[in-house]
Amino acid sequence: MTDTGASTQSIVEERLMPHPPEKVWRALTQPALIAQWLMQNDFKPEVGHRFTFRAKPQPGWTGVTNCEVKIVEPLRRLVYTWGDGTESDSGLQTVVTWTLAPEAGGTRVRMEQSGFRPQDEAAYRGASYGWRRLVAELQRVAAELP
């Protein structure tokens, strides 16, 4: 997690994958392939295309994530909005940026999800009582998440 601005935070996940960028790009942009590792979707790699990711509904969340494609630079960069604020009680609105960089031995794959507000992580602060018991549950829910 890194700070990206005065008031929002982001999550970064980055890995070197032993595959060429062409192949990683296909997995990131073809709906049938996206469904195999991320979620059911109606994605198209076209700027302005609105699409959804679909998962099982949870209390407080519809199971749907509304998205819009913002940037498509084949084999290099893909940006879409993630959440329009209507899907969950908390009104989460974030942006997901994928960056691919060829490297010896494969492709460096970087995902940044930005735009988390302070209240999006506030829940566990100050609640020192018993939250560890809920972490396992949290991970179970996360597996089926947005």
Partner 1 sequence: MNKPMRASAETLLFKTLADPTRRALFERLSREGELTVGALTRRAGVSQPAVSQHLEALRQAGLVRNRREGRTAHYRVTPRGLAPLTNWLALYSVFWRQRFDQLEKLLKEMDQ
Binding site for partner 1 (CB under 8 A): 1, 9, 11, 13, 15, 17, 19, 23-24, 26-27, 33, 36-38, 58-60, 88-90, 92, 109, 111, 113, 116, 120-127, 129-131, 133-134, 137-139, 141-143, 145-146
Tokens standing for residue 105: 């031995």
CA dist 143 and 36 (Å) reads 14
CB-based contacts of 89-93 (< 8 A; 24+ apart in sequence): 89/60, 89/61, 90/60, 90/119, 90/120, 92/116, 92/120, 92/146
- Cβ 71 to partner 1 shortest distance, Å: 19
- Cβ 128 to partner 1 shortest distance, Å: 9
Closer of 69 and 116 to partner 1 (Cβ): 116
